[in-house]
């Protein structure tokens, strides 16, 4: 492009391209600003004195740190047991993800690679269950757990979410596409289906495990409805509910609320930035179903 | 040989069932059973905590919710939400995906930024946007709109204004959700064979025609998926409603899920909540079947 | 495979153990107490009171759980089904009767010393009494009146009532609004706190119906929401709104910022208003709609649940909270009317001549009306709130109130008129029975032991 010997026509063409490029970047930057403005507002607000958060929200100062301090963060820890909420969320979600991976991959494998009576009927049922969103069973599930006396427990927040029809389906489609020859040798050697699964299938299936893990974690980290209904106090309350209650806890101090928000989202944001390829793949894979 | 095969099949059955059992038991206990329970409860008058004996009420709960102005408003709000959000969000997702699907440097960075709101929990986002929607000239959204309209915008109280509360929730939903759909569309775009475009270019078709006759038809299934998932999400709307408006002002932002939780959790009317739940499921079912129908249709055309 | 299943099955006890980590409702030596998450000062005071109680005796330790106000009743109701109710619960005014009806509270008159009971304000005793037994005690009561800026009233040349006996009549109140509006550029002179949600409407406006000669506690022609007195009272309010005298109060600051001269307000508004208006602030009774000026009463109160294994110890805690010093501590924190006579006499705000003595005198003189004392109250209040919204939005008053009355009547019918139920298995179709009967027996036992 910088070639001085290029013809007039060429340079005009490249100029035009260059303009278009600049315009694209400007447009993208503007859109990107709209997307991250609320996030930036939160991060910057968390570092400001409470009274400046609202009073500067109408100017660009909303996005510029001022009188920076970590006071709001200290306040959060003083006013509520943030570490407790954080542990609750982490514990609940990791357990769901871990047990979910085991339980659902086993089922996915059984559906994909084993021949057994009832297989197609059960598979059909599992696929049908995928369309049932959690909201459609939240009310009776609430009744179930209330009646069992299991409100305000980790159990109530973990056990119902381990088995997941969509995870089974993702495992099923992935395993079904693996070449048959993979297991044949092992089966001939007399290995049980389970050994075959652990030793041969799992090592080549890391992508699907990563996808399922991320999708599960992402959806559970956000769950608010169930926590609202089933938890009573802070001993087992997870972060999404905790911030909603913190928001209404007088005195209402927006700087504190934003610090809470930053600390709540920071870990998942770090994980996202490190593994974003998998996030994107995971999300994209939801679109290829059906 | 045949004998051996049958034996092997039997072996598999035992092993397969034990492998699938934990997941299937879980699905039965926490998906199938509750749903069956909802169906049963919706025909009763069960109220949590009431010392009176439970009665069979037939379709009375369904009759009542259909006559309930709040529930009707909720259905209408969900439908309105879908009607506005689905086209805007899908178009935006497609637009952003097209913008990003170009061989320019730094596209991955922009993709990350557009996708970022998706990893934020709705509860957190709702809290932050409550501040953004603060009433008065100090509010960020009010200031932004004033700037965009060159000073014509008069400050409003978005979340307490019957005319603006629902649109405010819509905007938040679009902001939070469009990245998700964008990634799906982007994956769809990238799966279109390049050869199709090359052939079109040889034929001398311009960019618009390429979009019109290659991109859109190739994206058909992806877009149908995106549209229907967004529609279902519109009917599942709850977190932001509960946190930002609690269904108000009046019933201006109430939703089907909000009505279900209000009945079952806030008012202990378990039977009414169950009837709303079952109705909600039927709506989702219809939308899903619609998707199946549309996708199938395309397959038969092929 | 089976080995693996076995290995997996190790997880099961782990999961079950997790359920063991939950907060168990009652434990010997610990009194579990549920409180709503109020204002910061109120919260701190309760925490300090609990510390003082714990330090004052060795019998039991009180453990507090704060529950957000938004889902407080929902949590309590669900806990009663899952047998998770704590020993002591805080209940918002009239919601107490529904809990009593459900069999969740024990009668506490045998558990509290007679001196303590005699010291309670009549309104507190009234609020806690259902069918002749005392079930709950409040440490503070509430006050409702008209806050005004004296200078504006004087400028408009209107008469300023001196007390309950010479409150403005309905006609006079309308003239006051007209006179004030003439002085006001936007003609909005009255704040009814239309930005509020929930309990405010029943609390603040049902007294007007009583003042007009009606009642709202029985489904009959003259004692129900659609009686002619109720229609008259609500038409007055609709008139004020439709004539443009009422500020929508979107920013919750219409009176404090000086936009309006008159504000319908509770005791909890006093601090803010006193700061904003200073010496210009005057507290007036609500208008008299014909049957004398009436005002509201009732606030949060304490009850002991049927789930409690140590009701006597729990009662010690309530007695502790009702000591004059403790009553004053909480009433100072939220500037409410102290719940006992002794404490009221010592209160700077409420003693004779104090700036809020109107509230205490109204309570002591019995000019306050309680909200309907029935298990149907939750339905009555939510229906009335809806009706108020419709009336505000201009719907016909009579039609709206008829509709509301029908809705309440249907609820009464659905619940068979809330009959006294002692022990029923309430889920016969699932073959499950509740242990309500046990709880009742326990409550009866406590009574007979005395």
- Rounded to the nearest integer, the mean pLDDT of chain C is 85
- SS3 category, B136: coil
Burial code (b: 16+ CB inside 10 Å, e: under 16) for A224-251 equals bbbbbbbbbebbbbbbbbbbbbbbebee
CB C395 within 8 A of CB C237: no
Rounded to 5°, the CA angle C195-C201-C202 comes to 165
Give the residue from B114, B120, B146, B233 with the most A CB atoms within 10 Å of its CB, the best one to mutate: B120
CA distance A42 to chain B (A): 7
Q: Are strands C190-191 and C136-137 parallel, antiparallel or unpaired?
A: unpaired
pLDDT at C270 over 50: yes
Q: Do B53 and C101 touch (CB under 8 A)?
A: no
* Residues C190, C178: Cα–Cα separation, whole Å: 11
Mean pLDDT for B179-199 is 89
- Per-range mean pLDDT, top range of A180-194, A275-289, B163-177: B163-177
Residues in contact with A140: Cβ distance below 8 Å, sequence separation at least 6, in sequence order: B34, B35, B37, B38, B41, B274, B277
- pLDDT-derived band at C395 (thresholds 50, 70, 90) equals confident
Homologous superfamily in CATH for domain A78-287 = MetI-like (1.10.3720.10)
CB B256 within 8 A of CB A138: no
Give C190's strand partners: C246, C262
Query: Would you give the DSSP letter of residue B154?
Result: P
Measuring CA to CA, which residue among C280, C294, C310, C167 is closest to residue C233?
C294
Q: Please indicate if any CB of chain A lies within 8 Å of the CB of B116.
A: yes
Q: Do A232 and C65 touch (CB under 8 A)?
A: yes
Neighbours of A193 (CB within 10 A): 24
**CA-based nearest residue in chain C for residue B12:** C1
What CATH topology corresponds to B67-301? Answer: MetI-like fold (1.10.3720)
CB A221 within 8 A of CB A268: yes
3-state SS, chain C, equals CHHHHHHHHCHHHHHHHHHHCCCCCCECCEEEEEEECCCHHHHHHHHHHHHHHHHHCCCCEEEEEEECHHHHHHHHHHHHHCCCCCCEEEEEHHHHHHHHHCCCECCCCCCCCHHHHHHECHHHHHHHEECCEECEECCEECCEEEEEEHHHHHHHCCCCCCCHHHCCEHHHHHHHHHHHHHHCCCCCCEECCCCCCCCHHHHHHHHHHHHCCCCCCCCCCCCCCCCHHHHHHHHHHHHHHHCCCEECCCCCCCCCCCCCCEEEEEHHHHHHHHHHHHHHEEEECCCECCCCCCEECCCEEEEEECCCCCHHHHHHHHHHHCCHHHHHHHHHHHCCEECEHHHHHHCCCCCCCCCCHHHHHHHHCCCEECCCCCCCHHHHHHHHHHHHHHHHCCCCHHHHHHHHHHHHHHHHHHCCCCCCCCCCCCEHHHCECCCHHHHHHHHHHHHHHC
pLDDT score at C28:
66
Neighbours of A97 (CB within 10 A): 20
List Cα–Cα distances, C261 to A36, C174, C245, C280, C357, in angstroms. Answer: 45, 14, 11, 11, 21
pLDDT score at C422:
55
pLDDT score at A9:
57
CB A80 within 8 A of CB A234: yes
The larger pLDDT score, comparing residue B141 to residue B103, is at: B141
Measuring CA to CA, which residue among C88, C91, C84 is closest to residue C111?
C88
* Residues C336, C269: Cα–Cα separation, whole Å: 10
Of C74, C103, C416, Cβ closest to residue B266? C74
CATH number of this structure's domain C144-293+376-413: 3.40.190.10
One fold for both C26-141+298-366 and C144-293+376-413? Answer: yes
Measured between beta carbons, the chain A residues lying within 8 angstroms of C67 are 232-233
Q: Do A250 and C4 touch (CB under 8 A)?
A: no
Q: What is the pLDDT of residues C324-335, one digit of tens each?
A: 999 999 998 888
**CA-based nearest residue in chain C for residue B242:** C70
Phi, psi of C105, deg, nearest 5: -120, 150
Q: Is the ipTM of this complex over 0.95?
A: no
Of B51, B250, B267, Cβ closest to residue C436? B51
- Rounded to the nearest integer, the mean pLDDT of chain A is 86
Rounded to 5°, the CA angle A188-A193-A198 comes to 110
Mean pLDDT for A67-87 is 90
Give C67's strand partners: C36
Measured between beta carbons, the chain C residues lying within 8 angstroms of A100 are none
- pLDDT-derived band at B298 (thresholds 50, 70, 90) equals low
Q: Please indicate if any CB of chain B lies within 8 Å of the CB of C78.
A: yes
Range from C89-103, C135-149, C325-339, C409-423 carrying the lowest mean pLDDT = C409-423
CATH number of this structure's domain C26-141+298-366: 3.40.190.10
* Residues A65, A87: Cα–Cα separation, whole Å: 29
Of C81, C197, C421, Cβ closest to residue B48? C81
Measuring CA to CA, which residue among C351, C369, C371 is closest to residue C360?
C351
Of B15, B102, B238, Cβ closest to residue A192? B15
Q: Do C415 and B50 touch (CB under 8 A)?
A: yes
Show contacts of C445-450: CB within 8 Å, 24+ apart. C446/C106, C446/C110, C446/C111, C446/C311, C447/C107, C447/C110, C450/C110
* Residues C88, B103: Cα–Cα separation, whole Å: 67
Cis previous bond, B249, omega within 30:
yes
- pLDDT-derived band at A168 (thresholds 50, 70, 90) equals very high
- Per-range mean pLDDT, top range of A137-151, C225-239, C372-386: C225-239
* Residues B111, C345: Cα–Cα separation, whole Å: 69
Measuring CA to CA, which residue among B179, B275, B186, B287 is closest to residue B233?
B287
Q: Do B12 and A193 touch (CB under 8 A)?
A: yes
pLDDT at C447 over 50: no
Of C78, C195, C393, Cβ closest to residue B48? C78
Measured between beta carbons, the chain A residues lying within 8 angstroms of B127 are 243-244, 247, 257, 261
- Rounded to the nearest integer, the mean pLDDT of chain B is 87
pLDDT score at C340:
93
The larger pLDDT score, comparing residue C401 to residue C435, is at: C401
User: What are the tokens at B96?
Assistant: 């952003």
Q: What is the pLDDT of residues C406-417, one digit of tens each?
A: 989 988 988 888
| CA B22 to chain CA centroid, nearest Å | 29
Give the residue from C7, C13, C18 with the most A CB atoms within 10 Å of its CB, the best one to mutate: C18
* Residues A51, B77: Cα–Cα separation, whole Å: 35
- SS3 category, A172: helix
pLDDT score at C449:
37
Touching partners of C (3+ C-beta pairs < 8 Å): A, B
* Residues C203, C198: Cα–Cα separation, whole Å: 10
pLDDT score at C221:
65
For chain A, what are the domain ranges?
8-69, 78-287
pLDDT score at B1:
42
pLDDT at C15 over 50: no
CA distance B212 to chain A (A): 21
Q: What is the pLDDT of residues C283-305, one digit of tens each?
A: 999 999 999 999 999 999 999 99
Neighbours of C39 (CB within 10 A): 14
Measured between beta carbons, the chain C residues lying within 8 angstroms of A148 are 82
Residue with tokens 């037994």: C133
pLDDT at C25 over 60: no
* Residues C174, C420: Cα–Cα separation, whole Å: 45
The larger pLDDT score, comparing residue A282 to residue B114, is at: B114
Measured between beta carbons, the chain A residues lying within 8 angstroms of B9 are 115-116
Q: How many CB pairs under 8 A join A and B?
A: 287
CA distance C292 to chain B (A): 33
Residues in contact with A115: Cβ distance below 8 Å, sequence separation at least 6, in sequence order: B9, B12, B13, B16
Show contacts of C245-248: CB within 8 Å, 24+ apart. C245/C177, C245/C180, C245/C181, C245/C187, C245/C188, C245/C189, C245/C190, C246/C188, C246/C190, C246/C191, C246/C192, C246/C194, C247/C188, C247/C189, C247/C190, C247/C191, C247/C194, C248/C194, C248/C195
Q: Are strands C61-67 and C30-36 parallel, antiparallel or unpaired?
A: parallel
Q: How many CB pairs under 8 A join A and C?
A: 75
Range from A239-243, B279-283, C226-230, C432-436 carrying the lowest mean pLDDT = C432-436
* Residues B169, B159: Cα–Cα separation, whole Å: 8
Q: Do B54 and C426 touch (CB under 8 A)?
A: yes
The larger pLDDT score, comparing residue A158 to residue C367, is at: A158
**CA-based nearest residue in chain A for residue C433:** A147
For chain C, what are the domain ranges?
26-141+298-366, 144-293+376-413
Q: Please indicate if any CB of chain B lies within 8 Å of the CB of C196.
A: no
For chain B, what are the domain ranges?
67-301
- pLDDT-derived band at A253 (thresholds 50, 70, 90) equals confident
Enter the pTM of the model.
Answer: 0.83
User: What are the tokens at C16?
Assistant: 């079950």
Give the residue from B123, B260, B288 with the most A CB atoms within 10 Å of its CB, the best one to mutate: B123
């Amino acid at each position: 492009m910088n070639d001085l010997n290029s013809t007039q026509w060429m340079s005009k063409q490249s100029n035009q391209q260059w303009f278009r490029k600049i315009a694209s970047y400007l447009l993208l930057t503007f859109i990107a600003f709209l997307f991250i403005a609320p996030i930036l507002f939160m991060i910057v607000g968390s570092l400001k004195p409470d009274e400046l958060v609202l009073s500067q929200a109408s100017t660009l100062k909303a996005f510029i740190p001022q009188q920076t301090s970590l006071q709001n963060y200290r306040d959060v820890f003083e006013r509520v047991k943030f570490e407790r909420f954080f542990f609750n969320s982490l514990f609940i979600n990791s357990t769901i993800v871990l047990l979910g991976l085991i339980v659902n991959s086993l089922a996915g494998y059984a559906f994909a690679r084993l021949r057994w009576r009832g297989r197609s009927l059960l598979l059909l049922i599992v696929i049908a269950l995928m369309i049932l969103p959690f909201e459609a069973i939240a009310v009776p599930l609430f009744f179930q757990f209330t009646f069992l006396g299991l409100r305000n427990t980790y159990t109530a927040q973990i056990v119902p979410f381990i088995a997941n029809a969509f995870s089974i389906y993702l495992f099923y489609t992935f395993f079904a596409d693996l070449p048959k020859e993979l297991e044949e040798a092992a089966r001939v050697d007399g290995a049980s289906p389970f050994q075959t699964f652990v030793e041969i299938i799992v090592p080549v299936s890391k992508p699907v495990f990563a996808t399922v893990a991320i999708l599960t974690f992402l959806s559970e980290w956000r769950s608010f409805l169930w926590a609202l209904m089933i938890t009573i106090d802070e001993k087992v309350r997870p972060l999404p509910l905790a911030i909603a209650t913190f928001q209404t806890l007088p005195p209402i101090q927006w700087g504190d609320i934003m610090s809470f928000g930053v600390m709540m989202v920071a870990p998942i944001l770090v994980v996202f930035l490190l593994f974003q390829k998998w996030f994107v793949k995971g999300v994209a894979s939801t679109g290829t179903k059906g | 040989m045949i004998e051996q095969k049958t034996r092997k099949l039997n072996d598999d059955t035992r092993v397969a069932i034990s492998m699938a059992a934990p997941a299937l038991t879980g699905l039965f206990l926490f998906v199938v059973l509750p749903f069956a329970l909802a169906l049963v409860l919706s025909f009763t008058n069960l109220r949590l905590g009431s010392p009176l004996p439970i009665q069979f009420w037939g379709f009375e709960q369904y009759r009542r919710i259909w006559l309930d102005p709040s529930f009707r408003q909720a259905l209408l709000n969900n439908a309105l939400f879908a009607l506005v959000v689905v086209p805007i969000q899908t178009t935006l997702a497609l637009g952003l995906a097209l913008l990003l699907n170009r061989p320019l440097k730094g596209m991955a960075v922009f993709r990350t930024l557009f996708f970022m709101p998706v990893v934020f929990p709705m509860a957190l986002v709702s809290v932050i946007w409550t501040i953004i929607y603060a009433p008065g000239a100090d509010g960020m959204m009010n200031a932004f709109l004033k700037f965009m309209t060159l000073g014509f915008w008069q400050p409003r109280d978005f979340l307490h204004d019957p005319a603006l509360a629902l649109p405010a929730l819509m905007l938040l939903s679009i902001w939070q959700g469009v990245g998700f759909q964008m990634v799906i569309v982007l994956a769809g775009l990238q799966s279109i064979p390049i050869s199709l475009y090359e052939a079109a270019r040889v034929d001398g078709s311009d960019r618009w025609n390429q979009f019109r006759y290659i991109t859109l038809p190739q994206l058909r299934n992806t877009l149908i998926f995106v549209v229907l998932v967004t529609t279902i999400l519109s009917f599942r709307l709850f977190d932001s409603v509960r946190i930002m408006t609690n269904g108000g002002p009046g019933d201006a932002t109430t939703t089907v899920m909000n009505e279900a939780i209000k009945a079952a959790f806030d008012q202990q009317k378990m039977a009414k909540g169950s009837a709303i739940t079952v109705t909600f499921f039927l709506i989702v079912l219809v939308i899903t079947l619609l998707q199946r129908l549309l996708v199938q249709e395309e397959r038969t055309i092929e | 495979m089976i080995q693996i299943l076995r290995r997996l099955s190790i997880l099961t006890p782990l999961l079950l153990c997790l359920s063991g980590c939950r907060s168990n409702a009652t434990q010997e030596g610990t009194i579990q107490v549920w409180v709503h998450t109020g204002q910061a000062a109120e919260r701190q005071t309760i925490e300090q009171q609990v510390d003082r109680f714990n330090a004052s005796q060795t019998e039991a330790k009180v453990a507090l759980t704060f529950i957000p106000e938004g889902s407080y009743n929902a949590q309590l109701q669900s806990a009663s089904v899952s047998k998770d109710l704590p020993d002591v619960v805080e209940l918002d005014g009239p919601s107490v009767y529904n809990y009593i009806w459900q069999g969740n509270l024990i009668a506490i008159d045998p558990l509290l010393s007679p001196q303590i009971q005699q010291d309670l304000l009549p309104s507190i005793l009234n609020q806690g009494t259902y069918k002749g037994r005392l079930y709950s005690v409040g440490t503070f009561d509430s006050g409702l009146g008209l806050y005004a800026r004296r200078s504006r009233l004087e400028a408009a040349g209107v008469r300023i009532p001196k007390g309950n006996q010479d409150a403005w009549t309905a006609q006079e109140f309308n003239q006051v609004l007209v006179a004030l509006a003439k002085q006001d550029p936007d003609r909005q002179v009255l704040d009814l706190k239309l930005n509020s949600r929930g309990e405010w409407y029943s609390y603040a406006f049902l007294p007007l119906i009583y003042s007009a000669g009606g009642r709202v506690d029985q489904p009959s022609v003259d004692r129900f929401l659609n009686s002619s007195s109720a229609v008259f009272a609500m038409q007055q309010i609709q008139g004020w709104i439709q004539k443009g005298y009422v500020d929508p109060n979107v920013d919750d600051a219409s009176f404090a910022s000086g936009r309006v001269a008159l504000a319908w307000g509770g005791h909890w508004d006093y601090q803010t208003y006193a700061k904003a208006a200073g010496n210009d602030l005057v507290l007036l009774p609500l208008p008299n709609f014909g049957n004398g000026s009436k005002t509201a009463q009732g606030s949060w109160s304490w009850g002991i649940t049927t789930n409690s294994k140590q009701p006597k110890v729990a009662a010690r805690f309530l007695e502790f909270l009702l000591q004059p010093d403790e009553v004053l501590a909480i009433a100072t924190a939220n500037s409410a009317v102290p719940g006992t006579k002794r404490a009221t006499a010592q209160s700077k705000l409420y003693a004779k001549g104090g700036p809020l003595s109107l509230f205490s005198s109204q309570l002591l003189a019995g000019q306050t009306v309680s909200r309907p004392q029935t298990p149907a109250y939750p339905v009555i209040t939510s229906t009335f709130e809806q009706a108020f919204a419709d009336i505000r939005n201009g719907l016909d008053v009579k039609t709206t109130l008829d509709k509301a009355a029908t809705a309440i009547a249907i609820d009464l019918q659905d619940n068979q008129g809330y009959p006294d139920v002692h022990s029923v298995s309430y889920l016969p179709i699932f073959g499950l029975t509740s242990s309500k009967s046990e709880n009742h027996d326990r409550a009866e036992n406590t009574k007979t032991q005395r």
